Amino acid sequence: MVSRNPSGTAFMMAFLRGFHAVYDNTKIFNDPLAYDLIPEEVREAFKQHLIKSAAEMAPELAKECNDAATSLRLAVRIMAGPVLARARFVEERLEEAIRKGIRQYIILGAGLDTFAYRRLDLTDRLQVFELDLPYTQEIKRQLLGRLNLEKPDFLHYIPVDFTKDNLASALSESKYDSGQGSFFSWMGVTHYLPLESVLSTLKAIIRLSSSVSEIVFDYYDKSAFDPDKGSNRIKYIMKNTKTIGETMITGFDPSKLSTELALLGLRLLNNLGPEEIQQKYFKECNEGYAASEHVHLAHATW
C-alpha cells in the first residue's frame, strides 16, 4: 500500500462524500459527517482547486458554466462519481456479510472514513479495525474531537505504515481474531502499487483470516494507462496524484481477473465494470454523477 497525505487524498475523498451529502437531494451514498469533519479552510481550498479544474476534466461541459458555483458543481460530479459508488458498494457488501455472520470489519487505508460513527445500525454487531498511518490517524482523532465525537469501544485504530510494516503483525497485536470471519475493504489503493505488491497483500490477507472471509477492492482497467484511451477525467486524476507523490502504475484486465485471483485462492463474487456501476448506482440519480470510464469494483471470498 501507499502512504497517503491526510491533507491530500484522504481529505479530498471526504470532501467529495460530504459535498454530495450536504448539497444534493438524491443520495448515491450519504455521509453526513464528512463535510463537517474537514476544517472550513481546507474545504474552501478544495473548492477553489476544483473550480479551476473543471475545464481540464470536461472542456465541452465547462463551456456551459457561467460562474464559479456551476464550475464547482461540474468538477465535483466528475470527481465524486467513483468515490460515491465504491463507498456504497462496500457497505452493501458489508451488510450482506453481516447477515451471513461476519463480525469483523477491517478497513485498510481508512483515511477519514466515518463508518464507525455513522452506521450505528450495523456497529452493534461488529468489531471495526481501521489501519492507516499513525499521523493520519492522529489528525483524524483531532478532527473528530472538534465535533465532540468520542471513539466507540468497538473501533480499533491500528497504526501501520504499509510500506514498512507487516500487515499480519499489525493485526496480531490488536483484538483482531484470525479465527473469525472478516470483511476487508481495500479501496483507492491497488492502482498505486506494483502488481507484485497487490498480489502479495491479497495473499497475506488470506493467510491471516478464516476461510469464510471476504474482501472488496477497486481497480483501474489497463486502458486507463494508455494515453490514447484514457479519459480526460483519468488523465487529470493521474496528473494530480503524481504531484503529491502517488503515481498510478497498475491496472488489471477485467476479463482475466477471475483467473488471476483464483491462482491466489480467491473466488471472485462480483466484478462490476463502468456500465454495470452506472446502471446499479447512477440510473436513478438525477444529479449529474456518473461512473468512471476505467474504475471497476471487485468482491471476492476464500
Question: Mind giving me the DSSP string for 222-287?
Answer: GGGG-TTT--HHHHHHHHHHHHTT------B-GGGHHHHHHTTT-EEEEEE-HHHHIIIIITT--S
Rg (CA), the chain: 19
DSSP letter (8 states) at residue 188: S
pLDDT tens column, 106-151: 999 999 999 999 999 999 999 999 999 899 999 999 999 999 999 9
Whether 4 has a pLDDT exceeding 50, the answer reads: no
Domains of the chain, each with CATH number or no CATH: 81-301 (3.40.50.150)
Whether 241 has a pLDDT exceeding 90, the answer reads: no
Report the percent of the chain where pLDDT is more than 90.
86
